[in-house]
Amino acid sequence: MVDYLLSESPIGYAVYKVNIQADVVGAKLKEVQQSVQDLARFGKMVELVGLAPFQGTEQALNEINDVSEGIMSDYLKAHLETTLPKAGKKKSVTLGVSEKNLAGSIRAEFGSLSCETAETSEAVADLLRGLRQHGPKLIKKLQPGDMERSILGLGHAYSRSKVKFNVAKNDNHIIQAIATLDQLDKDVNQFAMRLREIYGWHFPELSKIVSNNDIYAKVVLKIGDKAKLGDEDVDELANLVEGDESVANAIVKAARVSMGRDLSEQDMEIAMQTAKRASSLAAYRKSLTSYLSSRMNTVAPNLAALIGDTVGARLISKAGSLTNLSKYPASTVQILGAEKALFRALKTKGNTPKYGLIYHSSFIGRTGTKSKGRISRFLANKCSIASRIDNFSDTPTSKFGEALRRQVDERIEFYATGAPPAKNSAVMQAAMNSVMADMDLDDPTALAAEEAVPAAGVTAGATEQALRKEKKEKKDKKEKKEKKRKHGEDEDGESKKKKKKSKA
């Protein structure tokens, strides 16, 4: 049984009194459920007893945000206090609420008030459904179209408030850019391969002279029919092959003695169109690479400075977002991209992979074979730190990424020559001081109390060594006691045997 209903709408809070109580058993009948859809019947069941309109869009947005989070605002509390009657000793007041969390907040504030929701009562669910359908018509002072305009305006404002992100730090463009870049790599290679096959029938020697696919497509567009190529074209060819006149002269000489056959006009047209498409795709790939670099320097500058634009973008794309990447532990970042190999190793009980996408970084290639696993674990740790700094910092800077990169270089040098690397605390403090100097800020820890300095000679290594020594001593004592006990049992057994023999 419910006495009152609370309706949260874009125009305000409305409290309805239930005049006709719905029968719990009869509420399941089809005729009773259809009566809720009829305004004439439903208008007799409920009556508007209080309306607290919102004063503007800002107040409406704040109130709806509180309702969605299950918080009872002061405005709603005051409205319920003035509208609902106080519960007596003999009779309690029941309020029907649509939001479960809001019902808990109301119940906690008003101890004598009991709340029912659509989940706990079918009658409340039917009545709330009727209010959503006939609510604008039950409020007499409401003009036609007011509710629709309020719903539209509040819906847009609520959506904008929930989608809170900085446009400059939107990592979705990075994910799309790296995916497009991977597709472009395949397309450029495919078109370049087809171009070499098509134009190779006419000028096969050109493939050996020019190996770069982008330059090859530009040279094909310049040459066209090799029979028309002469010495006057050397300068233009040199510009296309990055100013190398020797290569340009080699192209002209090879064209004069080429073993290729002539192509028909249609075949030559197809070759030229293929070269144009390959050249345009290569130009688009170059512009997309520069765009990706600029976006990475804005969204994740430390990660880009540490591991590079392409590998950093692949890590963000694989994780789904920079926020997800910052939440991953270093062990997950290390094998990110090698999930198939990991699950296959777990299934077959083989060796798990040491690295995933970070294998494509330059650090792994510069490390010796024995140290690749250790440096990949160290690099994953630094990538995790860089991604967290990028995600949670408001001002983009690459100082930390550069410092982390120097740490990785020093660790590689340590594995190769044994040169001791710098301490992480000192490196991070230097990077922090550099960032704060650029921002013209004072060190917030300058006036803080100094940390306790341990006694000389007491280090983590010494403490660990002392613990190991203590464990070893305890183990030795236990073994000695065990030997003495066994030796005593052996002596007792021999004495018993001797006694038996003497008695016999």
Which pLDDT does position 495 carry in this prediction?
58
Tokens for 351?
A: 């060796």
Tokens for 406?
A: 């120097």
Which pLDDT does position 491 carry in this prediction?
59
Mean pLDDT throughout 265-270?
90
> Between residues 443 and 471, which one has the greater pLDDT?
471
pLDDT above 90 for 181: yes
Interatomic CA distance for residues 9 and 148, integer angstroms: 11
Least confident of 76-85, 432-441, 444-453: 444-453
Residue whose C-alpha is closest to residue 7's, from 76, 92, 58: 76
> Between residues 200 and 233, which one has the greater pLDDT?
200
Pair 382, 306: CB distance under 8 Å: yes
Interatomic CA distance for residues 86 and 82, integer angstroms: 10
Which pLDDT does position 179 carry in this prediction?
93
Which pLDDT does position 411 carry in this prediction?
92
Interatomic CA distance for residues 420 and 413, integer angstroms: 9
Pair 116, 2: CB distance under 8 Å: yes
- Return the bridge partners of 8, or none: 13
pLDDT above 80 for 461: no
Neighbours of 265 (CB within 10 A): 8
Mean pLDDT throughout 474-491?
74
Mean pLDDT throughout 286-299?
93
For 16, residues 6+ apart whose C-beta sits below 8 A from its C-beta are 4, 5, 7, 46, 47, 48, 49, 131, 138
Tokens for 246?
A: 């020797």
Q: What percent of the chain has pLDDT over 70?
A: 85
Domains of the chain, CATH where assigned = 4-162 (3.30.420.220), 173-292 (1.10.287.4070), 300-439 (1.10.246.90)
Mean pLDDT throughout 142-156?
79
For 26, residues 6+ apart whose C-beta sits below 8 A from its C-beta are 32
Name the pairing type of β-strands 4-9 and 12-18: antiparallel
This prediction has a pTM of: 0.60
Residue whose C-alpha is closest to residue 355's, from 375, 335, 328, 372: 335
Which pLDDT does position 191 carry in this prediction?
92
* Matching residue, tokens 């991209």: 337
pLDDT above 70 for 431: yes
Sorting pLDDT into bands at 50, 70 and 90, what band is 32?
Answer: low
* Matching residue, tokens 């990075």: 174
SS3 456: coil
Q: Per residue in 64-99, pLDDT tens?
A: 888 888 888 888 888 888 888 875 445 678 888 888
> Between residues 488 and 376, which one has the greater pLDDT?
376
Q: What percent of the chain has pLDDT over 90?
A: 24
pLDDT above 80 for 378: yes
The mean pLDDT of the chain is 82
pLDDT above 50 for 455: no
Side-chain-facing half-sphere of 305: CA atoms under 13 Å: 23
Instruction: Select the highest-mean-pLDDT range: 253-267, 276-290, 457-471, 481-495.
Output: 276-290
Which pLDDT does position 501 carry in this prediction?
54
Least confident of 147-161, 344-358, 397-411, 440-454: 440-454
* Matching residue, tokens 């009872």: 72
Mean pLDDT throughout 253-274?
88
pLDDT above 90 for 316: yes
Which strands sit side by side in the sheet containing 113-116, from one edge to the other? 46-53, 12-18, 4-9, 93-96, 113-116
